[in-house]
Homo-oligomer: A and B are copies of this chain.
Amino acid sequence: MSLQDSGIPEPQGDGPAGPRPAPEAARRGRPRSEAVEQAIFDAVAGLLEEGVPLAELSIERIARTAGVGKATIYRRWPGKEELFVELLRSLEPEDPVLTGTSVRDDLVMLLETLRQRGLAKRSSALLHNVFSQMHAYPKLWDAYQDTVIEPRRRLGMDTVRRGMELGEIRDDLDVEFVNDLFIGPLLLRTVIRPGATLEPGLAERVVDAVLAGLRPRP
């Protein structure tokens, strides 16, 4: 059936099905309306902002709100979750961090990004709503892990590795292990225990405490 022969790059090599089905084969006839696409996003965003819980966001309701046929949605995404994933991805802040002067500063900046996102989830009704319930949708959760969390984890590991090379971090430990020591505490507060405090300076304190250790100073 000559799938995928369109000019579109289609990155996500394998993974979980990929967000949109692609317009199939050669594109003939009436093209898909971008306005419709936007209307669907707007509808979902609108409903979430009104505080509608994720579980009540049925395809049927989204279609009704957007003034769109159900088939039109299914033509674009295989299911509810894939739609959410795409919406979420578009809301994520662009590029998380750039390298600073010292490795310690880079780590602080990395963790600060995590903190900022945690705070954002509380200020925006939409983000709060969707993040607090995202756990409930495995595909959503997985996709979020893959596309948002994992890249930054790698970024963190690169930084740690550089720290070891530069002599700022002891190099007798596993890189991933060390990285977890840094980001674990913050992820714990933003994802697992969403009600926890995220006061300014937290990122810095975590990095410094982990670097310095917890033994009493003489």
Q: Chain B: which residue is nearest A185 at the CB level?
A: B184
Is residue A61 contacting chain B, with contact meaning CB distance below 8 A? no
Question: Can you list, as one digit per residue, whether each of A156-186 has a CB less than 8 Å from chain B (1) or not (0)?
Answer: 0000000000011111010001101101111
A165-218 contacts to B, CB under 8 A, are 167-171, 173, 177-178, 180-181, 183-189, 191-193, 205-206, 209-217
A122-181 contacts to B, CB under 8 A, are 132-138, 141, 145, 149, 167-171, 173, 177-178, 180-181
Q: Are A189 and B193 in contact (CB under 8 A)?
A: no
A191 contact set on B, CB distance < 8 A? 192
User: Quick one: copies of this chain in the complex?
Assistant: 4
- Closest chain-B Cβ to A16's Cβ sits at a distance in Å of 14
Q: Are B136 and A214 in contact (CB under 8 A)?
A: no
Q: Are B189 and A192 in contact (CB under 8 A)?
A: no
With A138-B135, A213-B215 known to touch, is A184 a contact of B188 (CB < 8 Å)? yes
11 further A-B contacts with Cβ under 8 Å, apart from A136-B138, A173-B205, A181-B181, are A135-B135, A170-B216, A173-B209, A181-B214, A188-B188, A210-B214, A211-B213, A212-B213, A212-B215, A213-B214, A213-B215
